[in-house]
Amino acid sequence: MSSHVERRSNPTAWAAFWVALLGLILMPIPLFIGLILGGGLSLVAAVLVVIALLKGLARSGRGIAPVVFAAIFVLLTWGGISIGGGTIW
């Protein structure tokens, strides 16, 4: 029997998902704390999204769903920061 088990999930996608979600949650903290914490985490998540997307596409699309949600969280964080989130809220 072969012990080779194919992984169906994409761990990089899940890392991007959780980092992006944490950045979105921390973004509304006022006095530039949210800008630094949420913005920094969203930049890390954006890099992870690109890596996870490339890995997912190489695996015939496996593990793409968390990448899509992570990308949405990153865009929501950047949108919130652009209207003053983390600075004046």
Question: In the chain, how many domains are there?
Answer: 1
Please work out, in degrees rounded to the nearest 5, the angle formed at the alpha carbon of residue 79 by the alpha carbons of 77 and 84: 95
Q: What is the pLDDT of residue 3?
A: 56
Q: What is the pLDDT of residues 29-75, one digit of tens each?
A: 888 888 899 999 999 999 999 999 998 888 777 778 999 999 999 99
Q: Is residue 3 part of a domain?
A: no
Q: Give, in order, the Cα–Cα distances in Å from 35 to each of 10, 19, 30, 47.
A: 29, 15, 8, 18
Q: What is the pTM of this model?
A: 0.85
Residue span of the structural domain in which 33 resides = 11-82
Give the end-to-end CA distance of the chain in Å, rounded to a whole number: 59
Q: Is residue 89 part of a domain?
A: no
Q: Is residue 31 part of a domain?
A: yes
CA-CA distance, 63 to 70, in Å (whole number)?
12
